[in-house]
Amino acid sequence: MKKIFSFIFLVQLLLIASACSDQNIVPKEKAGNVVDTYGIKTFTVTIDTKEQKEALHVSFTEKKDRSEAEYSNKKDEISLHGEKALKKIMAAFEKLEPDPEADETELITKTAEAFDFKDYKMIRLEVTFKGYDPKEIMFSK
């Protein structure tokens, strides 16, 4: 009886763990829109403010077999995953007007403004534009 209970508990735990890991998945056609429209294959930004560490964490990754998006804004108490996160990220990309040729300072400034975090303490940005080498930038005020 104890073995059966343990087996059932293990199966339930595995089902819960596998269900939670898929929450950030974005349908292939929607992820393709980001690459086609903005030329961005990966994008991760983390912004710390004076009041809060990781006040903003945004992540988008376009991969061949699965793409993911995550948006967490502690200042506005918003946490989104998958398609909802992608919608929020794409709205910021419209303001950002990403340019792979932009210098690092311009990218940082525009990213902070696009996500409505003009007053920040530190910002970490990792972005890969289609056909370009990845950029990793960290800037502190």
Q: Residue 133: phi, psi to the nearest 5?
A: -70, 150
Q: Region 118-124: what's the mean pLDDT? A: 93
| Cα–Cα distance for residue pair 41/62, rounded to 1 Å | 5
Q: Would residue 54 count as lying in a domain?
A: yes
Q: For residue 100, what pLDDT is reported?
A: 92
Domain residues for the domain of 100 are 24-140
pTM of the model: 0.80
> Are the beta carbons of 119 and 49 closer than 8 angstroms?
yes
- In angstroms, the Cα distances linking 54 to 2, 37, 49, 106 are 44, 28, 8, 21
What total of structural domains would you count in the chain? 1
| Structure confidence at residue 107 (pLDDT) | 92
Encoding tokens for residue 100? 């792979």
pLDDT-derived band of residue 66, with 50, 70 and 90 as boundaries?
A: confident
pLDDT at 7: 53
Nearest to 86 by CA among 30, 141, 46: 30
Question: Does pLDDT of 3 surpass 70?
Answer: no
Residue 91, domain member (yes or no) = yes
Q: What is the pLDDT at residue 17?
A: 45
Residue 122 counted as domain residue: yes
Identify whether 134 is part of a domain. Answer: yes
CB 49 within 8 A of CB 121: yes
Q: What is the pLDDT of residues 96-113, one digit of tens each?
A: 989 999 999 999 999 999
> What are 34's two structure tokens?
């980001």
8 belongs to a structural domain? no
